[in-house]
Structure 1
Amino acid sequence: MGAAAAVPPEFVAGFPEILADISVSCRALSRGERESRRALGEQAADAGYGLRDLTAVHLAAARRAWASLPGVMGARDASELRRTGAAVLAALEAGIVALGEGHERAQRHAVQRAEAARRAFVDDLLYGRTDPGRIAEQAEGFGLRLADRHVVAVAEPPDGESYDQAHPLLRRVERELAGRFGDHDALIAPKDGRLVCVAPTSQQPVLDAFVKLASSHRVAVSRPHSGAVGVVRSYEEALSALDLAERLGLAASVLSSADLLVFPVLLRDRAAMADLVKTVLGPLEHARGGAEPLLATITAYAAAGYVNAEAARRLDLSVRALSYRLERIATLTGFDLDDSLQRYTLETAALGARLLDWPVTPL
């Protein structure tokens, strides 16, 4: 009774009168009466009253009204009383169902409004579209304190998939992080088909757990930066790392922006990089089969730590065939992979070729 009494009487308005009329006519609840209950259920939800309390107060009102209902008082025999009772109970059931529908409708709208506000905040946070002071104020409502240093991790989905609010991975990540760490200050949200985690550096275990859960395809992790502007910078770093991984064909499932800092440096002067590629690797285009097999050989040789057997395994070649390719590279380019300085020049040119998509794209 205490919980039901907490619901104001206006949310039960008209219901005893409806039951009184139905006890006489034995009719069903009308469409308008059901809609009025839905509207009251929606209003009660917006006012913060739970469905359990709302149901309880209606049941209590029906119980109090039962003995004084005209149809009950005027019943001539048991069969007429049973018919009246059945009609009243059916109306009570339909009314409770309508209340629940309205209450759920209000909750769905509230969730939709909250999700829209969250999406707008994530857009403003990651793209820096609003005043840093205002975004910092909004961030506190989402558990972020932007005065701290934050890291941004961006998870890319497998081909053909897109991460959104309904994707199972988002639910799994949220559930497992909450289960392991309880309340935490990390923000997890889908953005442009990817999954983004903004986490303070003080909560490295949360970030590590996100990376592990979301690395089924590829995750890029930024360097730490401070403030709202720092979050934007971190997000851009993570996106840049994913883009570089795609262009370079990197196999790693977890990428660190700090490990890839050399590539923006290489691309800063695109004309100089194109000149390096053309000068050093251009002669490879005259090889039988074109430049691509020999370019792949330089890349695999470097990735294997310049160990012939490992490089041959990666290229699915015999060691003898690999040695032949290395000789052709030295002959055509004039650069010897056994010389440390010349090897560095060849490797840098090979990286530049991949960044510029050469030789597919002419320089």
Structure 2
Amino acid sequence: MTERATGGEVEAYECYDAYLEGYAEVLAGICATGRRASREELAALRARGERAAEAGLGLRSLVRAHLGAARTVLAGLPRGEHDRLLAAVEQAVDAFAEGHERAQRLAMRQEEAARREFIDDLLYGRSDLGRLAQRAERFGLLLSHAHTVAVAQGPEPYADGYAVSRAVESSLLARFGSRRILLTTKDGRLICVAPGDQPDVLTFFAKQAYAATDGGRVAIGRPHSGAGGVVHSYEEALNALDIADRMGLDGPVLYAADLLVYPVLARDQQAMVDLVRTVLGPLRQARGGAGPLLETLTVYFDSGCVTTEAARRLSLSVRAVTYRLDRIHRLTGADPAEPTQRYTLQTAVIGARLFGWPDRDL
């Protein structure tokens, strides 16, 4: 072990010897001749900086080691060469630090690439599940457990490094610390993967995402176990966002468990199209077309079939709403007030909203 004493302090440089080899000789040669460091010498210093970064050595300690070696050279120099030494040390340390930082940036890019590849495989299930589970541990997930996925969609696309993404991530870390949570972005959306038995994490995530964008919407899938469970929950959250857009559903937070009826109804698309055409098709005969009457039915059902509440939401009188409901009854033959016929009408209305009827022909 090489020891150098300065001001009564003894510092050990054993682990840095490989990165300081020949450094003192280069400094002494520069001071003796007054030349600048050669291209080859600077390249060698950059290469050593890269190797030091790859070995996991911190730049601060390495710079101290270089300064310590320079002090040894300084002790044997005449006073007239001190300025030359300072200039040489500045060049040398700058080249070494450049190599160290270059290696760090490369490592960060490689790490981010590996993380992005893992996230793509995780959300699309494109990798061998056993290998995926092994890779997941590196990013803090135990895929043998159940996980739930929340997807936030805002007015503007999300991306890694954006202010909104950083703000939400900082809030989650401050609140939950080292819990096994994965926060990322995909296709312009912000995604949070959390253990299935910790719904408080996703509730907090939803609040933070909504507040950070001054709006937006968050959909939360159901918890599912295994490596494929994350994919399943992610797809449920995406489907919930799609259904909300098509149905015009209100509310900043959507739970896939609350929307299961919609994909069930839409599964047999041809049957649903026939129902919409048969039940609601006659509404096209109304003055002004089917739109106003379909909106009345939608608000009426969303209001729990309470006419006064529907009138308030539509900004109409109760009499006007009652007239529209009677008109719907006459045109379709189905009475919104009769339980069985009401169910048929409501199912048809759901189908119309899912398929964009009457704006879109079926």
1:136 equivalenced with 2:140 (yes/no): no
Alignment match, 1:76:
none
Q: Distance in 1 between matches of 2:319 and 2:207?
A: 40
Inter-CA distance 3–246: structure 2 relative to 1 (3 Å threshold): farther
Residue 190 of structure 2 aligns to a residue whose secondary structure is strand
Aligned residues: 350
Q: 1:318 deviation in Å?
A: 2.9
Listed as ranges, the gaps of 5+ residues in structure 1 are 73-80
Report the equivalent of 1:236: 235
Report deviation, 1:306: 2.0
- Cα deviation, 1:189-213, whole Å, max 9, x if unaligned, reads 1112111111112322222221221
How far has the Cα of 1:316 moved from its partner? 2.7
Q: What is the alpha-carbon root mean square deviation over aligned residues?
A: 1.8
Tell me the CA shift for residue 239 of structure 1: 0.9
Match of 1:156 in 2: 153
Q: 2:321 is matched by which residue type in structure 1?
A: L
TM-score w.r.t. structure 1 length? 0.91
Q: Using the alignment, how far apart are the partners of 2:92 and 2:308 within structure 1?
A: 78
CA–CA distance in structure 2, aligned partners of residues 96 and 267 of structure 1: 67
Deviations 1:301-324 (A, max 9, x none): 111222223222322323333222
Q: Distance in 1 between matches of 2:257 and 2:135?
A: 29
- Point out where structure 2 has 5 or more consecutive residues left out of the alignment: 5-9
The C-alpha deviation readout for 1:9-61, integer Å capped at 9, x for no partner, is: 12113321221122123333444433332221111010111101110110111
Pairing 1:80-91 to 2, within 5 Å after superposition: 81-82=79-80, 84-91=81-88
Does the 8 Å CA contact 2:276/2:351 hold for their aligned counterparts? Answer: yes
CA contact (8 A) 1:4 1:56 kept: no
Equivalent residue number for residue 53 of structure 1:
61
Identity %: 55
CA distance in 2, matches of 1:140, 1:130: 15
**Residue aligning to 2:268:** 269
How is 1:251-266 mapped onto 2 (pairs within 5 angstroms)?
251-266=250-265
> What is the 5 A alignment of 1:189-228?
189-215=184-210, 216-228=215-227
Q: Conserved in 1, the CA contact under 8 Å of 2:150 and 2:219? A: yes
CA distance in 2, matches of 1:7, 1:51: 13
Q: Paired residue for 1:26?
A: 34
Deviation for aligned residue 1:6: 4.3
Q: How far, CA to CA, are the matches of 2:216 and 2:235 in structure 1?
A: 19
SS state at 1:219 partner: strand
Q: Give the alignment of 1:280-291 within 5 angstroms.
A: 280-291=279-290
| 1:113-164 Cα distance to aligned partner (Å, 9 max, x none) | 1111111111111111122111111111111111111111111121xx2211
- After alignment, is 84-93 or 232-241 more displaced? 84-93
Matched, 1:12 2:20: yes
